[in-house]
Amino acid sequence: MALKGVRKPRHVPQRTCVGCRQVLPKRNLIRIVRVEDGARMDPTGKLAGRGAYLHDLRSCWDKALKGPLANALRTTIPQADLETLKDYAKSLPAGDPVLQDNGTEGSGEQEELLTD
């Protein structure tokens, strides 16, 4: 009977993607941090400063770079940094939002049961 309740549920920090506003564990997100002269990626998540988080999906970056990211960082992102971030976004997978349920238009394959 020496077992005490030392169970510590591991706390997973949750963050919001500033592109699509989904909340998810921050290890699934890329951190952008505000620095003195702009904004840059923080792959280690260790840089000091105000940070914002983004999915590793191009669609989220595209959205975020149009304004939400700058808002989240409470700064204006210089053009040069925007270009860097856009370049990075191009290397990301395009990302497939939930469009899977829409493919059932005009498949008229039901009439094949013709028996002569």
Residues engaged in binding Zn ion (CB under 5 A): 17, 19-20, 55, 60
Least CB distance to Zn ion at residue 58 (A): 10
Q: Return the number of the residue (9 or 13) whose C-beta is nearest Zn ion.
A: 13
**N-term to C-term CA, the chain:** 79
Least CB distance to Zn ion at residue 55 (A): 3
Question: What's the rounded Cα separation, in Å, for the pair 31 and 40?
Answer: 9
Q: Return the number of the residue (60 or 72) whose C-beta is nearest Zn ion.
A: 60
Neighbours of 64 (CB within 10 A): 24
Least CB distance to Zn ion at residue 43 (A): 17
Question: What's the rounded Cα separation, in Å, for the pair 61 and 17?
Answer: 9
